[in-house]
């Protein structure tokens, strides 16, 4: 024989909604007062003035490694931009006066708003010319152009201390463009 179950929520107090509304207001008011006088329950961080500590495993934004003469190690081979799934690396290659170098990036720019920080560019680079070891988090910007990071800015970035492998230059890249 079938058993008739009482349907939950069909009592008078549920149907008028008022007890639930007052219960919700009570919780909201409690959080408001607690946060107003002591911030006991807030999890909001006033970024960028305040930051939470990042994990030591966080590697950070890109930098371009310099040669000893300050020019980028990059030989404008386009492997990073080809590997980039977000299509956010833009390189303009030029011929170098030094025939041993052949090509260099006249422009090397990363649109940090499109970057998904996957690290594929770093993996693809045959010259160890680009690394993601600055520990920097992408800063908030008021216009898109400021998120467009250019060669000079990438070269000026420094590695986070823990991530230094060989501070810079290493052997010259052996990639040929012939
Ligand atoms: S981290 Fe990924 S998305 Fe960002 S520039 Fe490199 S390859 Fe592109
Ligand atoms: S893969 Fe390396 S060498 Fe090639 S363009 Fe990118 S950063 Fe430069």
Q: Mind listing the pLDDT tens digit for each residue in 52-85?
A: 888 888 889 999 999 988 899 999 999 999 999 9
Residue ranges lining ligand 2, Cβ < 6 Å: 74-80, 91, 124-125, 127, 129-130
Q: Is 110's C-beta closer than 6 angstroms to any atom of ligand 1?
A: yes
For the chain, percent of residues with pLDDT exceeding 70: 88
Distance (Å) from CA 120 to ligand 2 centroid: 11
> What are φ and ψ of residue 165, in 5° steps?
-100, -50
| DSSP E strands, the chain | 63-64, 89-95, 103-111, 130-131, 148-149
CB 135 within 8 A of CB 117: no
Instruction: Look up residue 143 and give its two tokens.
Output: 């216009």
Mean pLDDT of the chain: 85
Tell me the ligand closest to 63's alpha carbon.
2
Tens digit of pLDDT for each residue in 144-157? Answer: 999 999 999 999 99
Signed CA dihedral, 25, 30, 32, 33: sign only: positive
Residue nearest atom 8 of ligand 2, based on CA coordinates? 74
Cis peptide before 48 (omega within 30 of 0): yes
Which atom of ligand 2 lies closest to the CA of 64?
7
Kindly give the distance from the C-alpha atom of residue 116 to the centroid of ligand 1, in angstroms, as a whole number.
6
| pLDDT at 110 exceeding the cut of 50 | yes
Atom of ligand 1 at shortest distance to CA of 117? 1
Could you tell me the two tokens for 20? Answer: 């639930």
- Ligand 1 centroid from CA 119, angstroms: 5
The pLDDT score that the predictor gives to residue 97 is 86
Q: What is the pLDDT of residue 162?
A: 56
User: Of ligand 1's atoms, which has the minimum distance to the CA of residue 132?
Assistant: 1
For ligand 1, whether the C-beta of 91 sits within 6 Å is no
């Amino acid at each position: 024989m079938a058993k008739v179950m009482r349907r939950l929520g069909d009592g008078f107090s549920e149907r008028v909604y008022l007890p639930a509304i007052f219960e919700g207001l009570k919780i909201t008011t409690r959080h408001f007062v607690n946060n107003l006088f002591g911030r006991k329950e807030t999890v909001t961080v006033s970024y960028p003035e305040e930051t939470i500590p990042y994990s030591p495993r966080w590697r950070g934004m890109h930098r371009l490694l310099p040669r000893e003469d300050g020019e980028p190690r990059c030989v404008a081979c386009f492997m990073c931009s080809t590997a980039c799934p977000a299509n956010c690396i833009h390189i303009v290659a030029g011929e170098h006066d030094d025939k041993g170098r052949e090509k260099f990036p006249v422009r090397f720019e990363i649109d940090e708003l499109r970057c998904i920080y996957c690290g594929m560019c770093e993996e693809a680079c045959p010259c160890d010319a680009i690394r993601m070891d600055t520990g920097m988090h992408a800063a908030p910007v008021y216009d898109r152009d400021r998120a467009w990071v250019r060669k000079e800015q990438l070269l000026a970035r420094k590695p986070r201390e823990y991530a230094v492998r060989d501070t810079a230059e290493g052997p010259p890249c052996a990639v040929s463009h012939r």
